C-alpha cells in the first residue's frame, strides 16, 4: 500500500511457514475482475510455496492476484484470485 507502515502480508505468510514469499508493490490503474466484472483501481501479485504432506511431500506453488478499490474513507472492496500448482489432494 501507499503508507509508511511496516508490511504485514509477507511477514504473515512467512510466519505461517510459507517459502519464497514475494509480495509485489501495488500497481495503480483500471483493472477488471475476471469473474465478477467489477472494476478495481489497484492490483498486486503475491507468490509463495509450501510443502504439502500427502503420501509423500509435494511442493505447492501459489499465486494470488489481489485487486482492490476504495470507496470513501471506510470501505475497501477486495478480490483475490488464487492459482495453485502441485499435488493438492490425496
85 versus 37: the higher-pLDDT residue is 85
State yes or no: pLDDT of 9 exceeds 70.
yes
User: In 10 A of CB 13, how many CB atoms?
Assistant: 21
Contact 51, 17 (CB under 8 A): no
Residue 6 Cα distances to 1, 9, 11, 12, 89, angstroms = 10, 10, 10, 12, 35
Contact 44, 25 (CB under 8 A): yes
Residue 2: its pLDDT value, please? 56
Residue 1: its pLDDT value, please? 47
90 versus 63: the higher-pLDDT residue is 63
Indicate the pLDDT class of residue 90, thresholds 50, 70 and 90.
low
54 versus 45: the higher-pLDDT residue is 45
Amino acid at each position: 500500500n501507499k503508507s509508511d507502515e511496516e508490511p504485514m502480508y509477507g511477514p504473515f505468510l512467512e510466519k505461517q511457514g510459507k517459502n519464497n514469499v514475494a509480495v509485489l508493490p501495488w500497481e495503480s490503474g483500471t483493472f477488471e475482475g475476471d469473474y465478477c466484472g467489477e472494476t478495481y483501481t489497484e492490483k498486486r501479485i503475491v507468490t509463495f510455496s509450501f510443502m504439502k504432506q500427502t503420501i509423500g511431500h509435494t511442493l505447492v506453488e501459489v499465486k494470488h492476484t489481489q485487486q482492490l478499490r476504495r470507496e470513501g474513507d471506510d470501505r475497501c472492496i477486495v478480490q483475490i484470485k488464487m492459482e495453485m500448482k502441485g499435488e493438492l489432494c490425496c
